[in-house]
Chain A
Amino acid sequence: MDVEGLKAIGAALAIGLGAIGPGVGIGIIGGKAMEAMGRNPEAAGNIRTNMILAIVFAESVAIYALVVAMLLKFV
């Protein structure tokens, strides 16, 4: 196999595997936030803000993987 092909596989693995963790994490965050909003609808605004913040933190792990994938693919 040539280097280009290996690079493409490496990039795909980096983002593919790197997206699993954050995907599960965001799912849990979203689910728990919905549960909390259902139990206490008055606090929905507050919960939503914190949910978005937590999602961003989980998402940034996926973004690290994406950066690695892009470095492999384009540099």
Chain B
Amino acid sequence: MLKKLLTVRNLVILLLAIALFVISGLLGLKVPPPEVALAAEPIFHIGSFVVSNALLTTWIVTIILIVVAFITTRRYPKDLTAAKNSELVPSGFGNFIEWVVEGLYGFAEGVAGKWVSKFFPIVMTIFLFIVVSNWIGLIPGVGTIGFLEHPHGDKAGFVANGAFLTAQESHTAGEGFILAPFLRAPSTDLNFTVALALVAVFMAQYFGVKAQKLGYFKKFVDFSGFKQNIGMGILYVIVGVLEAISEVARIISFSFRLFGNIFAGEILLGVLAFLIPFFVTMPFYGLELFIGFIQGFVFFMLALVFFSLATMGHGEEEHH
């Protein structure tokens, strides 16, 4: 394993990285410590519509996904039933995408049963969207290249040397510059995660109504307990209220889980780069790649489980 990695090419890459590291240190290219901006910075306006850097990155992710979907499906024949077997065999990149989709389809089938064909397009889109959004924030340059702006409020910025920010603080308030990056990982903006959570929770209600018609709302407003006695009646009403609260709580837990994980990860990478640069940051990059994938998968699975829970009525469960 180690012998395979010890090639001339890898050695050159390693030496170049170390050389860059040393040269930047010798030149005194010091950068200001990472600034934690909770809200996405607006970068341009279309009419009165503000486009923030997170929104711009979301559009880029959308375009990436559309292009990938187009490339992988363009070679398939129009009429699948009349196609020869050899025309349906994927190759290269298409093969990889098919492997991903098929693997998750099998997984979803195990959870959702006969509803899988209805649920899968939505949850898979959410999954791919989240994973690409998480990973795009790890590309070097995202979050570090941007406009130089005067700081808002009474905070002091940093002195700029040409196009670079330096670590030197300017002492008068409102002077100096801070960085407003062009691109920012979409998942580190709460708007993105809340939007996805709203979609997931709303679709759960939709599938519930589709499967059980108006009987779905019996979950929230249930007076059937009064037939037994007054105590059970009140209990069923309270349970209905709790069900309604848990639906709303899902929006919060969905959105904050994704936001918190990715936002904390970005800060972790930023802070580590300032503690021990390069060598300690490397393994954490791997960790963040893994967390980005896992968070997408968790969103995928939770959405799937909530969809299938919504389609199952109380009566149906008793027959099992």
Contacts and interface: CB of A to CB of B under 8 A. Distances in A.
On whether the two chains bind one another, the answer is: yes
Interface residues of A, number: 13
Interface of B is mostly: helix
B294 A64 contact: no
Interface in B261-311: 261, 263-264, 267, 294-295, 297-298, 301
Interface in A39-75: 52-53, 56-57, 60, 63-64, 66-67, 70-71, 74-75
Contact of A63 (B36, B38, B261, B297): B261
Nearest to A71: B38
Given A63-B264, A67-B263, A74 B256 contact: no
A57 B39 CA distance: 26
Interface residues of B, number: 16
B94 interface: no
B36 A70 contact: yes
Contacts of A75: 38
Interface string B221-258: 00000000000000000000000000000000100110
B151 interface: no
B260 interface: yes
Contact of A53 (B38, B261, B301): B301
B80 to A, nearest CB: 32
Contacts of B182: none
A64 B301 contact: no
A64 B256 contact: yes
Interface string B203-235: 000000000000000000000000000000000
Interface of B: 36, 38, 253, 256-257, 259-261, 263-264, 267, 294-295, 297-298, 301
18 contacts: A53-B297, A53-B298, A56-B294, A56-B295, A60-B256, A60-B257, A60-B261, A63-B260, A63-B264, A64-B260, A67-B256, A67-B264, A70-B36, A70-B263, A70-B264, A70-B267, A71-B38, A74-B38
Given A70-B36, A75-B38, 4 more contacts: A64-B260, A66-B260, A67-B263, A71-B38
